């Protein structure tokens, strides 16, 4: 009897673990964005203050812009920005000037950052040669999981978990340090060393002069395979080391080398690591996932396309993307002006909110009552946290009453009799 009980218990535990793992891969947002590579640099498209531009993905250091980007990207110079730590440009020997908040930054349809601080570079001809407006660091992805696949030349952005094809047991922890970036562990002969993940520098391991001198007493010198000239990075044959038995997460790195880079203030794990597999950086949980390209099949269509059928007279559930496309694109900044030619009522709710659940049937009746006159929508606050955060929705239920071409009248609490008054006197007047 005891043996049967034990087997049942083990099965239940395994089932619970499987359900938990599956739950951890169900994302409310998945977006796949192609990138291009120029001179070995990852170039991604972004929109700043409504203006499209290309940037180098440089996870180490700080976000920085060329001088001409201030005017082109409509940076508000009346609002100087600041970094609470590391006030110098950490990894490249490039002179910097002022720090400004760059306003609204959008990558794809879902990644949104507001008032991200950025250095304005004195000058950097190499960035102009790449055809970019500057570099974007990891701070733009703090609310999501960033997955980089250099084999397919795509980044995948997910919330709140890693993509389903990234194996749960192929992970390690990392430290997110302001002004430095993601400090990840690398194993060399079983010994752990912590290096800043750097998607700019070529090579596998890039060492400061001090670290290179220290490592030279342990590892033999080798012949350098690659030389990177970006930001004046140079190395010679005498400035490379052979690293035996090197492993990142669970992936063995063959023919691993380390090179000296005088421009660094902290030793880094360079972009060559991306030649060995796919990397996912979960900033919320500070976990790094890394696995070989062929470890797991990748779905052909990873983007989760949510088709919303709007029906007049119904309380229609909507997403952040629907809000941007049909109501107001808050990523571009500026005053709220509704795109709709009809008045709108939006109910922000959640399943755990008792007043919200009691209010929903009344909202459905109201939608039917004002059919042809007012559009009624509902937003699940648990699934659309970015939308709620942007508009400061904290207490539930919160309702937006938006006149045609106008800005919202905001009410908190379940008071349907008051809602009718607002609709009659302010939306339909």
Are 35 and 76 found together in one domain?
A: yes
Are 276 and 190 found together in one domain?
A: yes
**Cα 383 to Cα 49: distance, rounded to the nearest angstrom:** 26
Apex 181 CA angle, 179 and 185, nearest 5: 135
| Range 285-313 average pLDDT | 80
Q: Identify whether 300 is part of a domain.
A: no
Tokens 């794990």 map to which residue?
269
Burial class of residue 65 (count of CB atoms within 10 Å of its CB; 0-12, 13-18, 19+): buried
Are 376 and 329 found together in one domain?
A: yes
Quickly count helices (H) and strands (E) in the chain. Answer: 8, 29
Long-range contacts of 420-429 (CB under 8 A, 24+ apart): 420/366, 423/343, 423/345, 423/366, 423/370, 423/374, 426/401, 427/343, 427/345, 427/374, 427/401, 427/402, 427/403, 428/343, 428/373, 428/374
pLDDT attached to residue 316: 93
Q: Is the per-residue pLDDT at 293 higher than 70? A: yes
Annotated active-site residue in 11, 138, 184, 353? 353
Apex 40 CA angle, 118 and 85, nearest 5: 25
pLDDT attached to residue 135: 93
Cβ atoms within 10 A of the Cβ of 178, count?
11
Any idea what the CATH number is for the domain that residue 134 is in? 2.40.70.10
Q: Identify whether 11 is part of a domain.
A: no
Q: Identify whether 9 is part of a domain.
A: no
Average pLDDT over the chain, rounded to an integer: 84
Number of domains in the chain: 3
Catalytic residue flag (residue 138):
no
pLDDT attached to residue 307: 62
Strand-pair category, 246-248 with 251-253: antiparallel
Cβ atoms within 10 A of the Cβ of 191, count?
9
Q: Side by side, which strands form the sheet with 145-149?
A: 29-34, 154-159, 145-149, 278-282, 287-291, 171-173
Any idea what the CATH number is for the domain that residue 422 is in? 3.40.30.10
Residue 78 in contact with residue 101, Cβ under 8 Å?
no
- Pick from 76-80, 120-124, 150-154 the range whose average pLDDT is largest: 150-154
Q: Is the per-residue pLDDT at 16 higher than 60? A: no
Cβ atoms within 10 A of the Cβ of 6, count?
10
Catalytic residue flag (residue 356):
yes
Q: Which of 83-97, 131-145, 268-282, 406-420 has the lowest mean pLDDT?
A: 83-97
C-alpha torsion sign, points 391, 155, 383, 137: negative
- Phi, psi values for residue 400, rounded to 5°: -105, 125
Are 283 and 347 found together in one domain?
A: no
Cα end-to-end distance, the chain, whole Å: 75
pLDDT attached to residue 105: 85
Q: Identify whether 10 is part of a domain.
A: no
- Pick from 105-109, 112-116, 166-170, 259-263 the range whose average pLDDT is largest: 166-170
Are 172 and 285 found together in one domain?
A: yes
| Range 166-190 average pLDDT | 90
Q: What Rg, from alpha-carbon coordinates, does the chain have?
A: 25
The tokens for 166 are: 């990234």
**Cα 143 to Cα 129: distance, rounded to the nearest angstrom:** 31
pLDDT attached to residue 231: 42
pLDDT attached to residue 224: 56
Q: Is the per-residue pLDDT at 180 higher than 80? A: no
Q: Is the per-residue pLDDT at 8 higher than 50? A: no
Are 257 and 348 found together in one domain?
A: no
Q: Identify whether 8 is part of a domain.
A: no
Annotated active-site residue in 138, 184, 356, 388? 356
**Cα 217 to Cα 239: distance, rounded to the nearest angstrom:** 13
Task: Give bridge partners of residue 375 from the DSSP assignment.
Answer: 344
Are 173 and 150 found together in one domain?
A: no
Are 324 and 282 found together in one domain?
A: no
Tokens 């004046």 map to which residue?
232
Percentage of the chain exceeding pLDDT 90:
53
Torsion angle of C-alpha atoms 240, 246, 249, 250, degrees rounded to 10: 140
The boundaries of the domain holding residue 144 are: 29-158
User: Which residue, 195, 208, 249, is CA-closest to 59?
Assistant: 195
**Domain termination residue (choose one: 113, 135, 158):** 158
Please report which confidence band the pLDDT of residue 110 belongs to, taking 50, 70 and 90 as the band edges.
low
**Domain termination residue (choose one: 126, 141, 158):** 158
Please report which confidence band the pLDDT of residue 31 belongs to, taking 50, 70 and 90 as the band edges.
confident
The tokens for 292 are: 């070989």
User: Which residue, 65, 162, 145, is CA-closest to 105?
Assistant: 65
The SS3 of residue 71 is helix
Are 129 and 200 found together in one domain?
A: no
Q: Identify whether 7 is part of a domain.
A: no
pLDDT attached to residue 292: 95
User: Which residue, 147, 150, 152, is CA-closest to 27?
Assistant: 147
Are 284 and 319 found together in one domain?
A: no
Are 208 and 242 found together in one domain?
A: yes
The tokens for 88 are: 């110098």
Please report which confidence band the pLDDT of residue 234 belongs to, taking 50, 70 and 90 as the band edges.
very low
Are 384 and 332 found together in one domain?
A: yes
Q: Identify whether 295 is part of a domain.
A: no
Q: Is the per-residue pLDDT at 62 higher than 90? A: no
């Amino acid at each position: 009897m005891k043996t049967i009980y034990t087997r049942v218990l083990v099965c239940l535990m395994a089932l619970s673990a499987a359900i938990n793992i599956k739950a951890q891969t169900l994302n409310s947002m998945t977006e796949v964005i192609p990138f291009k590579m120029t001179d070995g640099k990852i170039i991604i498209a972004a929109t700043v203050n409504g203006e499209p531009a290309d940037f180098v993905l440089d996870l180490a250091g700080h976000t920085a812009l060329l001088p001409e980007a201030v005017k082109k990207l409509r940076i508000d110079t009346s609002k100087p920005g600041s970094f609470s730590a590391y006030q110098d440009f950490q990894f490249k020997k490039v002179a910097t000037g002022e720090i400004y908040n760059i306003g609204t930054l959008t990558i794809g349809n879902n990644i949104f950052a507001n008032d991200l601080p950025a250095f304005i570079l004195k000058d950097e001809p190499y960035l102009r040669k790449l055809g970019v407006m500057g570099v974007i660091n990891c701070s733009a992805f703090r609310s999501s999981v960033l997955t980089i696949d250099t084999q397919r030349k795509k980044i995948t952005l997910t919330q709140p978990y890693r993509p389903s094809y990234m194996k749960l047991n192929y992970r390690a922890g990392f430290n997110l340090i302001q002004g430095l970036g993601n400090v990840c562990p690398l194993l060399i002969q079983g010994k752990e060393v912590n290096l800043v993940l750097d998607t700019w520098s070529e090579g596998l391991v890039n060492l400061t002069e001090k670290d290179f001198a220290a490592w030279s007493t342990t590892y033999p010198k080798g012949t350098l395979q690659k030389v990177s000239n970006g930001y004046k990075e140079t190395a010679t044959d005498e400035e490379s080391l052979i690293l035996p038995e090197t492993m990142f997460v669970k992936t063995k790195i063959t023919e691993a080398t380390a090179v000296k880079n005088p421009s660094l203030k902290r030793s880094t794990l360079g972009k060559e690591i991306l030649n060995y597999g796919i990397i996912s950086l979960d900033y919320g949980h500070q976990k790094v996932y890394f696995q070989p390209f062929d470890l797991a099949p990748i779905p052909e269509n990873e983007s989760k396309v949510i088709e919303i059928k709007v029906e007049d007279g119904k309380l229609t559930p909507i997403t952040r993307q629907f809000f941007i496309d049909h109501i107001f694109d808050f990523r571009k900044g500026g005053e709220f002006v509704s795109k709709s030619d009809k008045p709108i009522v939006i109910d922000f709710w959640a399943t755990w909110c008792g007043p919200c659940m009691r209010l929903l049937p009344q909202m459905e009746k109201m939608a039917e009552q004002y059919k042809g006159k007012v559009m009624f929508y509902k937003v699940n606050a648990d699934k659309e946290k970015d939308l709620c955060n942007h508009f400061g929705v904290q207490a539930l239920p919160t309702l937006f009453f938006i006149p045609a071409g106008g800005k919202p009248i905001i009410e908190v609490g379940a008071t349907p009799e008051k809602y009718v008054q607002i609709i009659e006197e302010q939306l339909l007047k």
